[in-house]
Amino acid sequence: MNTLEKKVALVTGSGSGIGKAVAILYAGKGASTIVSDIDEDGGMETVSIIKESGGEAIFIKADTSNPEDHKYMVAQILKTYGALHITCNNAGIGGPLGPTGEYPIEGWDKVISVNLSGVFYGLHYQIPAMLKSGGGSIVNIASILGMVGTKGSPAYVAAKHGVVGLTKAAALEYADKNIRINAVGPGYILTPLLTKALDEDTLKLLASMHPIGRLGTSEEVAELVYWLSISNSSFVTGSYYTVDGGYTAQ
């Protein structure tokens, strides 16, 4: 069932991982999908997968820490499709590890610029476009670390907490203007962000921290994002949903 037919959807950071899964799902449900990433090869691979399955997609290279890239991206979407109805602000980085007192300043600045400022810049340009399009839905990808803390990642934890707060504030501002804004908090998910940075023993340790006994998949997160993007969730805004195998229930 093409529940997103005639809809235009943007997914940032969709060259791999969760963003890739969301973009493929959106397109599979009928949306004209804009794949965006700083990684051109990864982004084009996502577009190829979508088109091979009969979907519609284009790629726009963008660095989400740069507000001008967001401005350009939204302008191109409106030029190409004439509207913007759905956005998943997914792009993010892990950043360096270390205790707060020793954490590199440049690492802090980079993580905040991508993971928090990047979401704000997105909203700043996406919302006016959605208002002109008659409304829409925005899903911001936060993390379980938008609710709880962990040692050694002060910038990431701060940024993801900020995404949850920003989501709530923006949702209240546009609730009566037919724009819904929600956040999703994935647990530890088997994505390149994790598998490229951690060894097998560390991945097993992370899996054991989830009561369900394993790490999540990008497709499982994408299903929740999709539900928040469609009319089935029409009474949901300003909310933060975890998809974490029970991690934050402990």
The least confident of 123-132, 193-202, 203-212 is: 193-202
Q: Is the per-residue pLDDT at 104 higher than 80?
A: yes
Does residue 190 sit within a domain? yes
Model confidence at 213, in pLDDT bands (50, 70, 90)?
A: very high
CATH number at residue 89: 3.40.50.720
The least confident of 8-17, 93-102, 196-205, 240-249 is: 196-205
Q: Is the per-residue pLDDT at 193 higher than 80?
A: no
| Tokens representing residue 209 in the block | 């921290």
- Work out how many domains the chain is built from and give that number: 1
- Mean pLDDT for 156-161 is 98
C-beta separation of 12 from 122 below 8 A: yes
Model confidence at 1, in pLDDT bands (50, 70, 90)?
A: low
The per-residue pLDDT for range 21-54, each reduced to its tens digit, is 999 999 999 999 999 999 999 999 999 999 999 9
Q: Is the per-residue pLDDT at 2 higher than 80?
A: no
Residue 47 and residue 43: Cα distance in Å, rounded?
6
Model confidence at 198, in pLDDT bands (50, 70, 90)?
A: confident
- Mean pLDDT for 142-166 is 97
Mean residue pLDDT across the chain: 96
Which single residue is written with the structure tokens 């690492």? 107
Q: Is the per-residue pLDDT at 207 higher than 80?
A: yes
Closest CA to 27 of 72, 69, 86: 86
Does residue 2 sit within a domain? no
Does residue 250 sit within a domain? no
Residue type, 247: Y
User: Is 121 noted as a catalytic residue in this protein?
Assistant: no
List all residues 6 or more positions away from 173 whose beta carbon is below 8 Å from its beta carbon.
none
Does residue 248 sit within a domain? no
What is residue 196's predicted lDDT score, i.e. its pLDDT? 77
Residue 118 and residue 106: Cα distance in Å, rounded?
16
Does residue 121 sit within a domain? yes
* Enclosing H/E stretch for 126: helix 118-132
Does residue 3 sit within a domain? no
Global pTM? 0.96
- Stronger pLDDT, 23 or 193, i.e. the higher one: 23
Q: Which of 103, 121, 156, 174 is catalytic?
A: 156
Does residue 247 sit within a domain? no
Does residue 194 sit within a domain? yes
How crowded is residue 212: how many other Cβ atoms within 10 Å of its Cβ?
A: 12
Residue type, 98: G
Structural domain range at position 71: 8-242
